Structure 1
Amino acid sequence: MNPLSLNQRTTKSWTVAQAVDGCVRHGLESVGLWREEVAEQGLAASAKLVRTAGLRVSSLCRGGFLTAAASLDASLEDNRLAIDEAAELGAACLVLVVGGLPGVVPGRPLEGVVSRDLAGARERVAEALAELAPYAGERNVRLALEPLHPIYCPDRAVVSTLGQALDLAMMYPSEQVGVVVDTFHVWWDPQVFEQIARAGERIASYQVCDYLHPLPADVLLGRGMMGDGVIDFPPITRAVLAAGYTGDIEVEIFNADIWAADPDEVVASMKRRYAEVVV
C-alpha cells in the first residue's frame, strides 16, 4: 500500500474530478476531500468518481465549529449532514475543527459581542460531541478531533493540544472518535511524543506539512511544503507508526504560492519531499 495521500486543499484549484484524476496520474492511492468541493461536484458524483478510480478517501474535511451557543442547533445539524456525507464517500474519518471563542470570526477584527469564556467554549465542544458521537457510530463514521496550534485558539479551535483532544475522544469508543496528528499543529508541543504513544489506535489521521518561519501576515497560510520550514518530521512519523497507525499520510498545505503554482508540479514536489523529508 502507498500511504501518501493528497489532501485536496493542497491543490486548491482542483475540483474533485481533477483531484481524483491527478491522484491516479501520479500513482497515489488515496485523496482527502473537502465538503465545499464535494458539494460543487455533487455528493453521489464524487463518491462514484472515487470508487471508479479505485481510490481511498483518507479524510473528509471538515465538520466542527461547535462553540457558538447561539447557533448550536444549526451547527449540530450541519455536522450530522457532514457525517452522512462521510458515510456516502466511505471516508476513513470526518475531521472536526471544533471552533474558537463565540463571536470571534476567523480572519476578521473583533467586533460586536465577543465571549472570553474559554472554559465555557471547551465545555460546549464536549456537549456537542456527546450528541454527535453516537450518530457517527450508527453510520460507521469516525470523528477525528483535530487540535490546532494555539495561534488559532481564538477563532478556530479551543482544543490546542493532542492531550486535550485525547481527553475528549477517550469518552467514546475508538471507532467513533479519534484524533488527528497534524505536524503543523503539534510539532511544538513538549508532550507530543508522550501523547502520540497515548493515542495509539485513536490516531484517525496523520497529516503533514511544514511550519514556515516567519509566518505570513495571514497565519492560516503559514503551512509550507515539507522541508521548507522548521519541523523535524522523521521522529514524529516514527512515533505515529510505532503507536500502531496504519492509515494514509495526508499532505495538507494552505499556502498562497503553492495554490498559485501548477498543481501537477505541486504533487510531484509533494511526492519527492515525502520520500526525502517525511519518511
Structure 2
Amino acid sequence: MSGRSERRFSLNQWTTKRWSVAEAVDGCVRHGVEAIGLWRQNVAEQGLDETVKLVADAGLRVSSLCRGGFLTSGGPEALDDNRRAIDEAAELNAACLVMVVGGLPGVVPGEPLGTISRDLSGARERVAEALAVLAPYAGERGVRLALEPLHPMYCADRAVLSTLGQALDLAEPHPPAQVGVVVDTFHVWWDPQVFQQIARAGGRIASYQVCDFLSPLPADVLLGRGVMGDGVIDFAPLTRAVAEAGYTGDIEVEIFNAEVWAADPDEVLTRVRTRFGELIGG
C-alpha cells in the first residue's frame, strides 16, 4: 500500500463491530490507521467526552459519524435527535454526519408490516422539509450533512433515496459545506447513471465508502457487504471517478457481514487494509 493510500484509509467502526470505541481507536493506532468512522450508539456507550479525548490523544481523524436521518415520519422528535447528532459530530470534529434518511413511514427494519404509509413521494418531501431546518443548524456548527443513497432493496425500510442523483437533487438547494452526499460502492455500483452523477456531485462528495456486494446475498440482505474482492464490484472505475470529481478525503471501509464480525478484529483489519491497497489505492 502506498504512503498516500495508507494515510487515506479509514476504518469504519462496524467493520470491526466487536470492538468498543476504545478498542477500535487502539486498533487503529496499533495498525497505523489514521482515521476512523464512528457510530453514535458506540460513542454513547463510551461517552462522548471520553470518545473525543480518545480520538484526540490518538491523533485520529473522524472521517464520519453515523448516523443521523430517519426523517420520513416527520415530527419534532426526529428533528431533535438529528440536532443532537449534529452537536455530537461537531464535538468530534467529524468530517461529516452520515444521513440515512428513512424509509416509508411506519415501516420498521426487521419487523412485520403494521400501519404504514405507501406515499413514497410524500416521504421524500418530508426529507426535503427536514433538511431545510437541519442544514442551517449544521452550518452554524461547522458540520456537513452527508446524504447517503441506499440500494433500492432498502427503500421501504431505511432510505427513500436510492440513487446518487436523487441525493444530489435534495442537496442542491443547500450550500455544499452544509449538505453533501456519500458515495458508497455497495449502494451505487449498479446504477447506470453513477458515473455521470459522481461527476455532477463534484465538491459535494462528503464521503467515499467502500466494500463489496456479495452474490448470492445472505438471507439478511443488510449483511451482504463483503471485503473488497469477495464480490462483484469493479472498484477501479468508481474510485477513479470519485478522484476525478475532486474528492481527496478519507476512504472508509464499511462492512456489515456476520462472518467478518465473528472473526478476530485484528485479522479483519489486516485483511481489509491489504485488499484496500490492492483494489482501491488512493
TM class, shorter-chain normalised? Answer: over 0.9
Whole-Å separation in 2 of the counterparts to 1:38 and 1:53: 16
Match among 24, 31, 34 for residue 29 of structure 2:
24
Q: Which residue of 1 aligns with 2:256?
A: 254
Q: Which residue of 2 aligns with 1:49?
A: 54
Whole-Å separation in 2 of the counterparts to 1:214 and 1:131: 41
Q: Which residue of 2 aligns with 1:9?
A: 14
Whole-Å separation in 1 of the counterparts to 2:156 and 2:134: 23
Counterpart mapping for 1:133-152 below 5 A: 133-152=135-154
TM-score (norm 2): 0.97
Q: Which runs of 4+ in 1 moved over 2 A?
A: none
How far apart are 1:176 and its partner, in Å? Answer: 0.3
Q: Which residue of 2 aligns with 1:75?
A: 78
1:213-235 Cα distance to aligned partner (Å, 9 max, x none): 01111000000000000000011
SS state at 2:135 partner: helix
SS state at 1:144 partner: strand
How far apart are 1:196 and its partner, in Å? Answer: 0.3
1:200-258 Cα distance to aligned partner (Å, 9 max, x none): 00000000000000111100000000000000001100000110001000000000010
SS state at 1:122 partner: helix
Q: Which residue of 1 aligns with 2:42?
A: 37
Structure 1: which 5+ residue stretches go unaligned? none
Whole-Å separation in 2 of the counterparts to 1:85 and 1:40: 13
1:153 paired to 2:155 = yes
SS state at 2:181 partner: strand
SS state at 2:233 partner: coil
1:47-91 Cα distance to aligned partner (Å, 9 max, x none): 01001100000000000000113xx21000000000000000000
1:99 paired to 2:102 = yes
Whole-Å separation in 1 of the counterparts to 2:117 and 2:229: 38
1:180-215 Cα distance to aligned partner (Å, 9 max, x none): 000000000000000000000000000000000011
Q: Which residue of 2 aligns with 1:219?
A: 221
Match among 130, 133, 136 for residue 132 of structure 2:
130
2:98 corresponds to which letter in structure 1? Answer: V
Q: Which residue of 2 aligns with 1:182?
A: 184
Whole-Å separation in 2 of the counterparts to 1:25 and 1:194: 39
Structure 2: which 5+ residue stretches go unaligned? none
How far apart are 1:107 and its partner, in Å? Answer: 1.2
Aligned residues: 276
Q: Which residue of 2 aligns with 1:191?
A: 193
Question: What is the Cα-based RMSD across aligned positions, in Å?
Answer: 0.6
Whole-Å separation in 2 of the counterparts to 1:151 and 1:230: 17
TM-score (norm 1): 0.98
How far apart are 1:109 and its partner, in Å? Answer: 1.9
Whole-Å separation in 1 of the counterparts to 2:108 and 2:37: 26
Whole-Å separation in 1 of the counterparts to 2:192 and 2:110: 28
1:268 paired to 2:270 = yes
